């Protein structure tokens, strides 16, 4: 069973897609063992609560400095003993210690076709605003592993989405979610889970490697 922690900051529609995927078995051999938000008011936490998923808030506001916050975030992740950490709209820079400790076990969903519209300053609605401003006709979403760079890790999956003439950033964001994010993120998790379940010694938490 792949133990997954999902990190969120906002509405949590990608978290919901993962919850739905586990429930309807399009994601197999997977348990969502925890949800972590940096934002106490994130609706994603309500989604976790409603689905009986252990959850917590680790907010930078509650710590004296970034180093203390980073330590607390890593502790919160470790507490759930995950095999995989999924960044589903998590708008916090991942601490270097966490990247090292969970190398190749952190994935992120980004709402563009990387390497377009990614990196510093490109998150949430800003990505779609930039795509519309540039006048591209196709955008999409990318699932990738997280490394030390911003949106630079190995790409796992991408899906293209058409941009229509009348699109606003909000309309485009919704289409990218519906036609790409909510499909490729659950699928990527299922593929990672299926690989893990066929590995020797599967069924055990590999966190302590
Ligand atoms: C999603 O569109 C996700 O791809 C994006 O934030 C949104 C979160 O929505 N993530 C990034 O921009 C990361 N750079 P959600 O809370 O409804 O899943």
Contacts of 99 (CB under 8 A, 6+ apart): 106, 146, 147, 148
At 1 the pLDDT is 96
At 205 the pLDDT is 52
- Identify the three-state secondary structure at position 30: strand
Percent of the chain with pLDDT over 90: 94
pTM, full prediction: 0.95
> Which residues participate in catalysis according to the annotation?
110
* pLDDT confidence tier of residue 18, bands split at 50, 70 and 90: very high
- Does residue 118 line the site of ligand 1, with CB under 6 A? no
CA distances from 198 to 2, 28, 82, 140, 195 (A): 11, 12, 18, 31, 5
pLDDT at 46 over 80: yes
In the chain, at which residue ranges do the beta strands (DSSP E only) sit?
A: 2-8, 30-37, 55-57, 84-87, 106-110, 138-145, 155-162
How many angstroms separate the CA atoms of 132 and 130, rounded?
5
- Does residue 83 line the site of ligand 1, with CB under 6 A? no
Residue 92 CA to ligand 1 center (angstroms) comes to 12
| Mean pLDDT value across residues 45-57 | 98
Closest residue by Cα to atom 14, ligand 1, is 123
pLDDT at 150 over 80: yes
78-125 pLDDT per residue, tens: 999 999 999 999 999 999 999 999 999 999 999 999 999 999 999 999
At 208 the pLDDT is 41
How many angstroms separate the CA atoms of 6 and 178, rounded?
19
**CA quadruple 96, 98, 101, 106: dihedral sign:** negative
| Ligand 1 atom with the shortest distance to the CA of 124 | 12
Q: Which of 110, 121, 149 to mutate to test the pocket of ligand 1 (most atoms within 8 A of CB)?
A: 110
How many angstroms separate the CA atoms of 104 and 207, rounded?
12
At 198 the pLDDT is 87
| Ligand 1 atom with the shortest distance to the CA of 12 | 16
Count of C-beta atoms within a 10 Å radius of residue 72: 17
Residue 44 CA to ligand 1 center (angstroms) comes to 11
Cα–chain center distance at 130: 21
Percent of the chain with pLDDT over 70: 96
151-202 pLDDT per residue, tens: 999 999 999 999 999 999 999 999 999 999 999 999 999 999 999 988 876 6
* pLDDT confidence tier of residue 19, bands split at 50, 70 and 90: very high
At 200 the pLDDT is 72
At 202 the pLDDT is 63
| Ligand 1 atom with the shortest distance to the CA of 141 | 4
The DSSP call for residue 209 is -
Contacts of 48 (CB under 8 A, 6+ apart): 12, 15, 35, 54, 55
- Does residue 14 line the site of ligand 1, with CB under 6 A? yes
- Does residue 36 line the site of ligand 1, with CB under 6 A? no
- Does residue 16 line the site of ligand 1, with CB under 6 A? no
Residue 185 CA to ligand 1 center (angstroms) comes to 11
Residue 199 CA to ligand 1 center (angstroms) comes to 31
How many angstroms separate the CA atoms of 122 and 172, rounded?
15
């Amino acid at each position: 069973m792949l133990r997954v922690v999902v990190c969120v900051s906002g509405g949590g529609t990608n978290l919901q897609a993962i919850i739905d995927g586990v429930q309807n078995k399009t994601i197999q051999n997977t348990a969502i063992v925890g949800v972590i938000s940096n934002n106490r008011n994130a609706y994603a936490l309500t989604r976790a609560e409603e689905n009986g998923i252990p959850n917590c808030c680790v907010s930078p506001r509650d710590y004296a400095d970034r180093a203390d916050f980073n330590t607390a975030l890593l502790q919160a992740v470790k507490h759930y003993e995950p095999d995989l950490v999924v960044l589903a709209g998590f708008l916090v820079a991942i601490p270097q210690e966490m990247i090292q400790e969970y190398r190749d076990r952190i994935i992120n969903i980004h709402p563009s076709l990387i390497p377009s519209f990614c990196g510093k300053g490109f998150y949430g609605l800003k990505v779609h605003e930039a795509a519309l401003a540039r006048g591209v006709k196709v955008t999409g979403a990318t699932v990738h592993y997280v490394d030390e760079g911003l949106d630079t890790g190995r790409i796992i999956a991408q899906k293209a989405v058409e941009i229509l003439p009348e699109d606003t950033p909000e309309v485009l964001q919704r289409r990218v979610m519906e036609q790409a994010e909510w499909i490729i993120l659950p699928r990527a998790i299922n593929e990672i889970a299926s690989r893990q379940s066929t590995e020797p010694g599967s069924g055990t938490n590999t966190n302590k490697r």
